[in-house]
Structure 1
């Protein structure tokens, strides 16, 4: 069933068949979400603890609700963009009666446990629930290749699929388990800080020679492309549990530790953040993975009994 076939009473109120949407939480990402809905023609109601943040959206045609209760009551589809699942439940606390019969979509950070707790909370108040994640920056919201994924009630996803695709053309439903989006959000997000700190360390080393950090961007992008090309290979090794075909062995990475230490001394750049990573590499060697593919680090990280 798509959203225009949904028989509930909201259909009769939709201009040109477009779903009314409420967006709660107007930080940088929340404003981008609301702006995408407004520009796509969806009647859009917004609410934020600091109402001044809504002014640019109101200028574009959004309606600022006077309370969170009024915001929830205004639309069949309620999209929240707050910091955590707990913050979402707290913000919606005064509007629990209005949630009944509505679709609640959360786009925030948090753990799988937080998603499960929020799903149970939403169901207890009569709402249908999807947890989601935006895998890009606010400026990318609405682009054809921007990825958002969701998990939870498949009927909600199917009903509002075309509305949700306004936020990004690469829109995926991961499954009925409500915590899958949070799981993938954290699993994929785990790559971000190590990758960025690696770039920042490199930038500091380059600048120690009086060179601009911008001079390494082109080469860093190529390096990331190479890493991207390896991910399917490593994923296959991990899923097979076979690390014997080592293009880059664990021992090879362990040998690199001395070079990082030498560069740190030469440039004066602090590289102590790498110590736990090399400790992990040493654990892998001790476990017999020295000549195996570096993807065998997964086995050390898993800490299976």
Structure 2
């Protein structure tokens, strides 16, 4: 889950399923319950209210949700009462252990409803939660929120969903209240977490590189702001190679006619040496160099950077 308040909205691809279930105007909208009223949970409940859904809320501790109640939400005294109130139950708490503790208190009231878990975790935890939901007799979608709180409920908000396809098709329009770029990624309940972790793997590694590069320049008296136009151009360059890199990785072919890994590794070595000379931490940068050297040892010195995936997949 992304919670950075200064995270820029990305133009993610539109991967929604075709909307074939938009309710007729004379039919009531599905009712929704939100369990957990942290900053994200409150934003989710607010988005449902804004879309016209009858919304019930519950939080483990008192003192949260007064603003939602003032806008029309109904506060439940227990998780079971909250679940009984709605067709769709959304849980968004700190982790899966907390989510399970809440859901265990309402397990007998969940059958016949859709449970949507927007508590980010690993694919393994998502699949375990899905197995519990199946034993409980409830349709289950696992989800991952990919935008910060202020973006929830806007056309730019991306949320991944995976799990029971028929449930997503039935309630997809309801879930669109949370974000205009809701994306269903497959029946495997772990897939939303796979997409979440993979994209954030890239994001946080890139954020580290951004800050590290600014720190390196700063050691020579260059302001981070002075790098901005050149960094943005570099981001554009990176965007231009995403499609080709994906094809290389999927097809396990790494043509290095235009550049090669051995040359690129030497360039990274120069950056590491310069950074260490200036007293900077280089643990992550040395990890990048290690990945390049490992691929070279596997025989990919004449291939392109994409070949480092071979050593990442098999690090021993």
TM-score by length of 1: 0.89
How far apart, in 2, do the equivalents of 1:19 and 1:212 lie?
53
Shift of 1:88: 1.3
Unaligned segments of structure 1, at least 5 residues? 6-13
How far apart, in 2, do the equivalents of 1:232 and 1:253 lie?
20
1:35 lines up with 2:46 in the alignment: yes
1:207 lines up with 2:226 in the alignment: no
Q: In structure 1, which of residues 93, 97, 103 is the aligned counterpart of residue 114 of structure 2?
A: 103
1:287 lines up with 2:298 in the alignment: yes
Whether contact under 8 Å (1:260, 1:271) holds in the other structure is: no
1:1-305 maps to which residues of 2 (within 5 A)?
Answer: 2=21, 4=23, 17-265=28-276, 267-303=278-314
Higher relative contact order (CA 8 A, sep 6+): 2
Q: Give a deviation string over 1:167-220, Cα, whole Å, max 9, x none.
A: 111122111121111222222221122111111212323333445434434433
Runs of 4+ in 1 over 6 A off after TM superposition: none
How far apart, in 2, do the equivalents of 1:275 and 1:123 lie?
45
Whether contact under 8 Å (1:46, 1:71) holds in the other structure is: yes
Whether contact under 8 Å (1:148, 1:168) holds in the other structure is: yes
Unaligned segments of structure 2, at least 5 residues? 1-19
Aligned equivalent of 1:11: none
Whether contact under 8 Å (2:92, 2:118) holds in the other structure is: yes
How far apart, in 1, do the equivalents of 2:295 and 2:272 lie?
20
Query: Number of residues paired by the alignment?
Result: 297
The structure with more helix, counted as a fraction of residues:
1
How far apart, in 2, do the equivalents of 1:105 and 1:265 lie?
47
TM-score by length of 2: 0.87
Alpha carbons of structure 1 residues 83 and 229: separation in structure 2 relative to 1, 3 Å: farther
How far apart, in 1, do the equivalents of 2:118 and 2:27 lie?
26
